[in-house]
Structure 1
Amino acid sequence: MNGNHRPIPFLDLAGIHDAIADDLDLVWHSVRKHGYYTGGPEVDDFETAFATYCEASHCIGVGNGTDALELILTGLGIGRGDEVIVPANTFVATAEAVCAAGARPSFVDVNAATLLLDPAAAAAAITRATAAIIGVHLYGQMADVDALVALARRHGLAFIEDAAQAHGARFGSTRAGSAGIAAAFSFYPGKNLGAFGDGGSVVTSDPQLAERVRTIANHGRAVTDRHRHELAGRNSRLDTLQAGVLATKLPLLDESNARRAAAMACYRTLLPDGYEPLAEHPYAESVHHLAVVRTGARDRATAALTGAGIGWGIHYPVPCHQQPAFERFPAQAPVAEQAAGHILSLPMSPTLGEGDIARICAVLRGVRT
């Protein structure tokens, strides 16, 4: 690496947190002082604020985003004998949750321009066993919820949002978290709204589902009587410290997302030939969780970036249906399979400046494509 240049991290968590260090310290001191490390007042405050932000009625803080998906499925009674449509291009957690609920993932292909769930492919995959469609809002962009919700309604299916990478995104006038029967969010530290560890939430405007999810996630405990266990539940709760961190960051989320959008616009201007950013649907307002490009020179590009002290990632190099864990669920997904060999995620942070992006693009310009 050239000693004249500082490293550019893939995600600048240190810079993000340094800017609000005093507020984060207050969270720690407050939780330490009152001592309610689970179920503290910060949890209620965050749940109320995040439900409002998502334009929904209820938010239930849970252990992580994977749990959130599984709890939605279980809360809806989806399990053994049911199929759930899942895009082949997603993080494995989407499929893991379906399997954990006892259902069978039905992997379908994605749109060639956005790499998000293709409504036509989803329609072709519906069978008598299909119970739900999970629309994954990948890379910060919402799937085509207009088409997918209409499809689900025509067939009497549940439409569930996997919004783990889409905090604050919109599709038309619809905010992520308000399109389907329920949405699952992850607050893993690297998300647009990230905690200091694992965390997640279920967001819904269905009061019965909200109560059932809250009950299942808290050992099957009745909402109105903590000594009565109505279901064989589990332990999946958002702890107080994480809720406090999230509540501190939430008012800054829109500004942070706007900075990500500005960084992505800069990439689109400065990227050299041979690096094609993914398309955005005309109705989509992405929050740019990741800056994904396609290139035929991925190996050479990643070697050059590493040599220059620049972070990078691949999301995702192996489609879900080709992972050993899910090979028993065969699928035809040629678009996802072809894209997997060419996608590359470039640095993306709200702290990323035009000079950083110019340097990244200069490195890429020196790679033979």
Structure 2
Amino acid sequence: MGTAAMLRAAGVGLGDEVVVPAFGNVEVAEAVAMAGALPVFADIDPSTYCLDPAAVEAAVTARTAAVVVVHRFGRLADIARLHAVGQRHGLLVLEQGESEAPYDEIAQRRERAAYLDMKLRGVRTPDDGDGHTYQQYVVRVPGNGRPDRDAFARAVRAKGVGCRVPVKTPVHRLPEFRHCVSLPETERAADETLALPVDASLTKRDMQRIVSACNALGGLLQPAF
């Protein structure tokens, strides 16, 4: 059952608000709208990239009926605290996660992530957290936000590393869901994050190429695309 159907089945609909993250795909907000409710965006925890329980609680109003929690990049949200918020305010709490890879592949992703954690310099590596499966290995590029991140991405791509920007535009900035709301951690994450490959198919030489390209920090002249 999809998110919209689960919300409708729980009686969530017209006149209700549902707290969702803006950092991620638009499908969650679209599902809330399909159920007839209004998506309300809350900020993320900068370590997990998932909803910050304190920000969720601050977003609750008399019309709030539910919260949709999205586990991001293979890292779990602080679901215990989010459920506690739901219990205090009588809210439905739904969870969404990314599709899980087979156990053997997860083990290999963790091995490659540990290698990058140890070798990378000049970028902020992800917090490992309990049970992190590294569906994406997301680093933060220091500097002047989006321009420096994009230049860094352009440089490492030129060296054969297939990096990608995980969230190009937060959902609250999209025309169909544009809201004037302060989400500083969401904005910062959208401007600084870059996903590096940790696929199980990568060889030791591939991993060394990733480290060499990132640690060189050179050629930061043109914006990425």
Q: Give the TM-score taking structure 2 as reference length.
A: 0.89
From 76, 80, 83, give the equivalent of 2:17.
Answer: 83
Match of 2:59 in 1: 125
Q: What do residues 311-352 of structure 1 show as CA deviations (whole Å, max 9, x unaligned)? A: 11111122111111111x332101111221111111131222
Structure 1 equivalent of residue 223 of structure 2: none
Provide the rounded CA distance (Å) in 1 between the counterparts of 2:38 and 2:204.
45
User: Which letter does structure 1 place at the counterpart of 2:171?
Assistant: C
Cα shift at 1:166? 5.5
1:100 positional shift: 1.4
CA distance in 2 between counterparts of 1:353 and 1:267 reads 13
CA contact (8 A) 2:48 2:72 kept: no
2:88 maps to what in 1?
A: 154
Q: Which residue of 2 aligns with 1:290?
A: 136
Partner of 1:261: 110
Deviation, 1:96, is 1.1
Q: Distance in 2 between matches of 1:100 and 1:330?
A: 22
Q: CA deviation at 1:272?
A: 1.7
**Residue 214 of structure 2 corresponds to which residue in structure 1?**
364
- CA distance in structure 2 between the partners assigned to 1:145 and 1:330 by the alignment: 27
Distance 1:69 1:140 in 2: 19
Percent identity between matched residues is 34
Distance 2:16 2:81 in 1: 22
Does residue 80 of structure 2 align to residue 140 of structure 1? no
In structure 2, how many angstroms separate the alpha carbons of the residues matched to 1:316 and 1:331? 18
Letter aligned with residue 285 of structure 1: G
Equivalent position of 1:348 in the other structure: 198
Q: Is the 8 A contact 1:140 1:166 kept in 2?
A: no
* Pairing 1:154-193 to 2, within 5 Å after superposition: 154-163=88-97, 165=98, 167=100, 192=101
Report the Cα distance in structure 2 between the residues aligned to 1:94 and 1:353, rounded to whole angstroms.
Answer: 35
SS in 2 for 1:276: coil
Q: What pairs with 1:199-238 in structure 2 (closer than 5 Å)? A: none
> 1:102 maps to what in 2?
36
Deviation at 1:145, TM superposition (A): 0.5
Partners in 1 of 2:167 and 2:64 — Cα distance? 26
1:318 aligns with 2:194: no
| Distance in 2, Cα, partners of 1:135 & 1:278 | 20
> 1: CA distance between counterparts of 2:190 and 2:131?
24
Q: 2-side partners of 1:279 and 1:88: how far apart?
A: 21
In 2, distance between residues paired with 1:300 and 1:322?
A: 22
**Equivalent position SS for 1:363:** helix
Distance in 2 (alpha carbons) for counterparts of 1:352 and 1:101: 42
Larger Rg: 1
Alpha-carbon distance in structure 2 between the residues aligned to 1:276 and 1:150 = 30
Distance between the aligned counterparts of 2:30 and 2:214, measured in 1?
35
Q: Structure 2: which 5+ residue stretches go unaligned?
A: 221-225
Matched, 1:278 2:126: yes
Structure 2 counterpart of 1:93, one-letter code: E
SS at match of 1:106: strand
Give 1:104 deviation, angstroms: 0.6
Instruction: Give ranges in structure 1 of 5+ residues lacking alignment.
Output: 1-59, 61-67, 168-191, 193-252
Whether contact under 8 Å (1:69, 1:94) holds in the other structure is yes
CA contact (8 A) 2:161 2:209 kept: no
Q: Is residue 337 of structure 1 aligned with residue 183 of structure 2?
A: no
Shift, 1:359, TM fit: 0.7
Equivalent pairs counted in the alignment come to 214
What amino acid is aligned across from residue 299 of structure 1 in structure 2?
A: D
Deviation digits for residues 236-255 of structure 1 (CA, Å, limit 9, x no counterpart): xxxxxxxxxxxxxxxxx111
Q: Quick one: distance in 2 between partners of 1:83 and 1:128?
A: 9
| Paired residue secondary structure (1:341) | helix
Q: Whole-Å Cα distance in 1 between the matches of residues 94 and 67 of structure 2? A: 6
